[in-house]
Amino acid sequence: MQNVLINGTYLLASVLFILGLKGLTHPRTAVRGNLLGALGMFLAVIVTLLDQRIVDWTVVLAGLLVGTAVGTVLAVRIQMTAMPQLVALFNGLGGAASALVAGTALMGAGLPDRELMFQYTAASAAAGLIGAVTFWGSLVAFAKLQELVSEKPMAFPGQQVFNAILAAVSLGLGVWLMFTPDPGLWYWGVVILASILGVSLVTPIGGADMPVVIALLNSYSGLAAAATGFVLMNNVLIIAGSLVGASGLILTQIMCHAMNRSLPAVLFGVAGPPSDKQMTADQVYGGKVKSASPDEVAMLFEGARRVVIVPGYGMAVAQAQHAVAELAELLESRDIEVEYAIHPVAGRMPGHMNVLLAEADVPYEKLKDMDDINPTFEETDVVIVNGSNDIVNPLARTDTQSLLAGMPILDVDKAKTVVVVKRSLSPGFAGVPNPLFAAPNCLMMFGDGKKMMLELISALKAAA
């Protein structure tokens, strides 16, 4: 009877998870969706506490208490600009928890009968492998995003071969787990190898590729939970884990598509040397770049009817989202239509810009996807590019030799005037000069993303 209650509740929790994710398909229903997911989790935890195998309550309650306290503080205190690293950290903890649960189950609860043995150990190996890669990979991603270590790719010669060998050996050890009489011990061998692999896989990946990495680690954290579900033969773990695994995979796919790169190219592709045909910065910019003061830019808006703002990672770094939103409101009060163009990989994780602008009270209808807004640039009077570079580089369309070749970009160069707010002419992540900055219809506003917005706002107000 008790099993019926527990498994029935797990079924209910699974349904709530699915309904919760379904709620996320629209901003109006999303808050409720998230609450449904949380309710499912709450029910699953409560009913699990009825499990008669639990005898040691101090450990259980202490763990729940510590986790709740830390989780709450992190969630309440975190700045919206730091969201990518928080998501990375949470992904990692999920992976770690799955690896630890599988390990504990393997060492503690007496081994099941022979028939179940293969599944049990194989699933444990999978949970340990994926969980450890997720944890250590996420920690490296966290350190890069938090700028504890350099965001630049860090690689040593032969790293890809090293990773391949490491992956093969850990897989082999995972298989060995199914045959050895002492899987509890060998399990930790798998975990250690997978930990090294997790670090070594993410260190060579640079900052701008982080959206792919975070989405992929998100997927792994789900798959690790599903694998743990196979260890414990627990359906709610399998269902929830595979939902998250699918979700992360879809996001990974969207991010790769938005960079016109395959997943292996992002994960293993150390950027090759720039081709000889690539133009140097001097050739591209030499004498052609025009800079403008906030006063001069303010004059552009006289008689303008449509303005598009293109935010990038630079906006997040400068914490400029509120200033950007204030500028947009000021322009709107002067009967100018303002929209935001959001490139899928702008920022450091999927949807990064949307969250920042939502924090600045920008209504979500004003945020347009690349495909929707690209046809409108020709009718746009002024485009303000704040802190993005590669995603507006027209070389992606024109130069088949370029590292950016084929990457879908925002066609801002087709607007009447483009104002680029940027500290200097330094190249974006791809290391390619941007001919947009030298285009006849482009003005550079050199300076901090937030400061320039505020100066532009006062210039506009003074001119009125």
Partner 1 sequence: MEIFLTGLTIFVLAIFAGFEIITKIPPTLHTPLMSGANAISGITLVGALVAAGAEQNLLTTVLGFSAIVCATINVVGGFLVTNRMLAMFKKKG
Binders of partner 1 in range 423-452 (CB under 8 A)? none
Binding status of residue 149 toward partner 1 by CB under 8 A:
no
Report d(CA 214, CA 24) in Å as an integer: 19
Active site residue 369: no
Choose, by CB under 8 A, the member of 137, 294, 311, 350 that binds partner 1: 350
**Cβ closest to partner 1, residue 234 vs residue 386:** 234
Report d(CA 329, CA 325) in Å as an integer: 6
Choose, by CB under 8 A, the member of 8, 27, 172, 406 that binds partner 1: 27
Binding status of residue 83 toward partner 1 by CB under 8 A:
yes
**Cβ closest to partner 1, residue 104 vs residue 426:** 104
**Tokens read off for 141:** 């991603």
CB within 8 Å of 442: residues ≥ 6 apart: 289, 290, 413, 417, 418, 419, 420, 436
CB 172 within 8 A of CB 113: no
Q: How far is the CB of 279 from partner 1 (least distance, A)?
A: 33
Binding status of residue 192 toward partner 1 by CB under 8 A:
no
Question: Binding string, 107-126, against partner 1, x = CB under 8 A?
Answer: xxx-----xx--x-------
What torsion, rounded to 10 degrees, do the Cα atoms 261, 266, 270, 273 define? 20
Q: Which of 305, 110, 102 is nearest to 223 (CA)?
A: 102
Concatenate the DSSP letters of all residues of 169-228 into one string. Answer: HHHHHHHHTTT-S-HHHHHHHHHHHHHHHHHHHHTT--GGGHHHHHHHHHHHHHHHHHHH
Choose, by CB under 8 A, the member of 81, 97, 396, 404 that binds partner 1: 97
Binding status of residue 218 toward partner 1 by CB under 8 A:
yes
- Candidates 276, 295, 361, 390; catalytic one: 390
Binders of partner 1 in range 38-57 (CB under 8 A)? 38, 40-41, 44-45, 48-49, 51, 53-57
3-class DSSP assignment, residue 69: helix
**Cβ closest to partner 1, residue 230 vs residue 301:** 230
Binding status of residue 175 toward partner 1 by CB under 8 A:
no
**Helix %, strand %, coil % of the chain (to 5):** 65, 5, 30
Count CA atoms within 13 Å of residue 456 on its CB side: 31
Choose, by CB under 8 A, the member of 2, 5, 8, 64 that binds partner 1: 64
Binding status of residue 382 toward partner 1 by CB under 8 A:
no
Choose, by CB under 8 A, the member of 2, 68, 262, 275 that binds partner 1: 68
Catalytic (active-site) positions: 390
